[in-house]
Amino acid sequence: MKVLLVFTFGYSLKTWSDSGTLYKELEIYKVLFKKYNIEFLFLTYGDESDLEIDLSEYGIKVFPIYLYIKKYRSKFLNYLYSFLLPFKLIKEETILSQVNLIKQNQLLGSWVSLLLKKIIKKPLFLRTGYDMYKFSKEEKKNLFVIFLYKMLTKLSFKFSDLYSVSSESDLNFFQKQLRLNGEKLVYRPNFISKKIIKYSKNRYQDRILCVGRLEEQKNFKFIIQEFSNTDFVIDIVGDGSQKSYLSQFAKANNTRINFLGKLNNEDLNSLYQKYNFFVNASFFEGSPKTVLEAMANECLVFVSNIPNHTEIISHLKNGYVFNIESSSLKNLVLDSKNINQNTLKNKASNRIETDYSIEKAIEKEYQDYKNLIS
């Protein structure tokens, strides 16, 4: 079986490599190749630098888009010319011949996969990790942009053969708000590999670990306020436009904070194991992998009371849920020191094995492929 994997618009192997997630992203495809002999063709938004990354052991061939079409400085022009890409690829028989299935990662750029589906007449599996339309509403983007995302979502759903979402909240949003339903809409949760986890008992008791982009969505301002004038230290992994602002805000609130920058996934997993407390205070999320990773690494997890969190974390059962409208987080962290934390940590770790393991995700992925091409 050959699967053409079309990357999210603007993403490449170099993007994955620079973000430190390359080998984590490749893991599922490596297993599918070795276990089921599924070969992948990666259509990336990269250039010749993507060809420098050797993926032969993964059964993957890489076709960087910007070897076939010109890359412009203007993002708008790159969007525009991406519509021509499927017609350029027709001439490249080595790319499209023997393809059994097209898979699209994320909604952005789905027009490339939709056009390819029409040209080569193969089934399309579109996977989303978060809902762009819902995010655009939460971020209060321009009404025209929101409308475009809504139309792209509806068109992609209509013409795909399978459309997966990674959270039950997104599934409900599709069914109730967008009124999109049917057998092609499926729930496929994010997954976590536990093979590298070595539980450590010696963890920081006076430091809080947070992971995420330094943007308003992640609500780091709330965490800084909660731990002002305390002995706790906030350590944040990630980068973003709010770094300078958050640094000044922490200083004004007498909150001790460290910005640890970006880390590759292996180093990040090692870091989780040094911390007892992990906090995610986001205003909205898709299916937050950082929460799943913290649970897998047996941190005590505290999350904001949003639907995409509460479908993963049950208050006082496998973690803590706090109200971002009130000042309850600090007290919950302090109160947690008076309970048997291992019970919650073990239940959180077991939840990962039960519902979010990579082994189950691989089996689902394989069955989806088989069903689509049969």
Q: Tell me what pLDDT residue 95 has.
A: 75
State the Cα–Cα distance between residues 134 and 180, nearest whole angstrom: 14
Lowest mean pLDDT, pick from 8-12, 155-159, 175-179, 276-280: 175-179
Count the Cβ atoms, other than its own, within 10 Å of residue 320. 22
Residues 57-74, mean pLDDT to the nearest whole number: 91
Residue 70 has pLDDT above 80, yes or no: yes
92, pLDDT greater than 90: no
Using an 8 Å Cβ cutoff, are 243 and 214 in contact? Answer: yes
Q: Contact, 16 vs 25, CB < 8 A? A: yes
The CB-based long-range contact list for 143-150 (8 Å cut-off, 24+ gap) reads 149/107, 150/178
At residue 109, the pLDDT reads 95
Tens of pLDDT along 103-133?
999 999 999 999 999 999 999 999 998 888 8
Cα–Cα distance, 88 to 95 (Å, whole number): 11
Q: What is the pTM for the complete model shown?
A: 0.91
- Residue-level pLDDT at 197: 54
Predicted confidence (pLDDT) at residue 326 exceeds the cutoff of 90? no
Q: Which has more pLDDT, 107 or 95? A: 107
| Arithmetic mean of pLDDT, 227-235 | 97
Residue 196 has pLDDT above 80, yes or no: no
* Model confidence pLDDT, tens digit, residues 234-291: 999 999 999 999 999 999 999 999 999 999 988 999 999 999 999 999 999 999 999 9
Residue 215: C-alpha distances to residues 29, 274, 286 (Å): 31, 25, 15
| Confidence at residue 250, expressed as pLDDT on a 0 to 100 scale | 98
| pLDDT, tens digit, 9 for 90 and up, residues 14-54 | 999 988 889 889 999 999 999 999 999 999 999 999 999 98
Distance in angstroms (rounded) separating the CA atoms of residues 146 and 152: 10
**194 pLDDT above the threshold of 70:** no
User: Please, which residues bridge with residue 39 across strands?
Assistant: 2
- C-alpha to C-alpha distance for 4 and 10, rounded to whole angstroms: 17
- Is there a contact between 302 and 329 (Cβ–Cβ < 8 Å)? yes
Report the 10 Å Cβ neighbour count for 216.
Answer: 15
Percentage of the chain beyond pLDDT 70 is: 97
Mean pLDDT of 66-81: 91
Judge residue 205's burial from the number of C-beta atoms within 10 Å of its C-beta, 0-12 exposed, 13-18 middle, 19 or more buried: exposed
Beta bridge partners of 225: none
For 52-63, what is each residue's pLDDT tens digit? 998 988 889 999
User: Beta-strand (E) ranges in the chain?
Assistant: 2-6, 39-44, 60-64, 101-105, 124-127, 162-165, 185-187, 204-211, 233-237, 256-261, 275-280, 300-304, 320-322
What is the per-residue pLDDT for 93?
67
Q: What does the pLDDT read at residue 19?
A: 87
Q: How many CA atoms lie within 13 A of 236 on its CB side?
A: 26
